[in-house]
């Protein structure tokens, strides 16, 4: 059955309204499915305890442990592995972090948030300063195995853009969730889309007649 609303727009045809009502029904069903998936995610049992209290470099000479990333009253930690290799930053990661920087002050009312890159901290800060990332907690994992252990890096050292979630319970830190859809072969003509739900760019383009397309991707500069 088509879903109906009393909304009408100037000049719309009956054909448009019939098609729009069918789309409304599909959008309603998608919203239900998104909520169902979120419930399933929240019901995940706790994963394994972290194998070590990783030490990151937060500023030149200043080190911080993973356990110290948990602020008082917030027992969830979200870490994004930023692909920032020796040559340049990943344009896709950079686009995602441009958006996350704006959302970070809101997210940090509920959770702890950090961005980890296997790159020297001075280089990471210089790049972040140029992007005006003033709200992101940036950490270098150049001298630990976090990226490797939590699949932000392949066995060959290739960096991967995985988002991991950790939780603190009774003084122990456990893994909770990762965007493992990255490792599931995508549908033909798609990319992995493992963090799209948190990436406004693609959701905005999906509202348009052109869509996100199949051959356009963000760049570092325009």
Residue 99 and residue 18 in one domain? no
Question: Model pTM?
Answer: 0.94
Chain centroid to CA 127? 19
Residue 93 and residue 148 in one domain? yes
Strand order in the sheet with 163-169: 62-65, 55-59, 138-140, 112-117, 76-82, 163-169, 172-178
Residue 95 and residue 136 in one domain? yes
| In a domain? residue 134 | yes
Structural domain count, the chain = 2
Residue 108 and residue 144 in one domain? yes
Residue 59 and residue 154 in one domain? yes
| Average pLDDT of the chain, as a whole number | 95
Cα–Cα–Cα angle for 167, 100, 213, nearest 5°? 120
Residue 21 and residue 95 in one domain? no
Residue 33 and residue 67 in one domain? no
pLDDT number for residue 192: 85
Residue 131 and residue 153 in one domain? yes
CA distance 13 to 158: 52
pLDDT number for residue 187: 83
Residue 138 and residue 38 in one domain? no
Beta strands in the chain (DSSP E): 55-59, 62-65, 76-82, 112-117, 138-140, 163-169, 172-178
pLDDT number for residue 207: 96
DSSP 11-62: T--HHHHHHHHHHHHHHHHHHHHHHHHHHHHHTPPP-PBPSS--EEEEETTE
Mean pLDDT by 10 residues, the chain (222 residues): 81 96 95 97 97 98 98 96 89 97 98 97 96 98 97 94 97 97 87 92 95 90 94
Beta strands in 93-140 (DSSP E): 112-117, 138-140
pLDDT number for residue 2: 55
Residue 68 and residue 146 in one domain? yes
Of 142, 160, 179, which residue is a domain's last? 179
Residue 101 and residue 168 in one domain? yes
| In a domain? residue 196 | no
Token digits of residue 115: 């961005």
Q: What is the CATH number of the domain that holds 88?
A: 3.40.30.10
69: phi then psi, degrees, rounded to nearest 5: -80, -10
Q: Which domain covers residue 130, as residue numbers? A: 55-179
């Amino acid at each position: 059955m088509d879903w109906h609303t009393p909304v009408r727009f100037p000049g719309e045809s009956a054909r448009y309204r019939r098609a729009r009502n069918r789309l409304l029904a599909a959008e309603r069903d998608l919203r239900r499915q998104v909520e169902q998936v979120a419930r399933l995610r929240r019901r995940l049992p706790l994963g394994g305890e972290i194998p070590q209290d990783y030490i990151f470099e937060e500023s030149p000479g200043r080190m911080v442990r993973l356990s110290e990333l948990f602020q008082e009253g917030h027992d969830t930690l979200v870490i994004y592995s930023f692909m920032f290799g020796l040559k340049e930053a990943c344009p896709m990661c950079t686009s995602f972090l441009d958006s996350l920087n704006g959302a970070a002050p809101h997210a940090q009312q509920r959770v702890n948030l950090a961005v980890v890159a296997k790159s020297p901290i001075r280089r990471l800060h210089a790049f972040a300063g140029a992007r005006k990332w003033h709200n992101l907690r940036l950490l270098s994992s150049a001298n630990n195995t976090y990226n490797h252990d939590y699949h932000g890096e392949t066995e060959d050292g290739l960096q991967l853009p995985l988002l991991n979630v950790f939780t603190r319970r009774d003084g122990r830190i456990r893994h909770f969730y990762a965007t493992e859809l990255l490792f599931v072969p995508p549908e033909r003509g798609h990319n992995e889309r493992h963090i799209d739900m948190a990436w406004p760019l693609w959701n905005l383009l999906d509202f348009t007649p052109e869509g996100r397309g199949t051959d356009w991707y963000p760049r570092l500069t325009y």
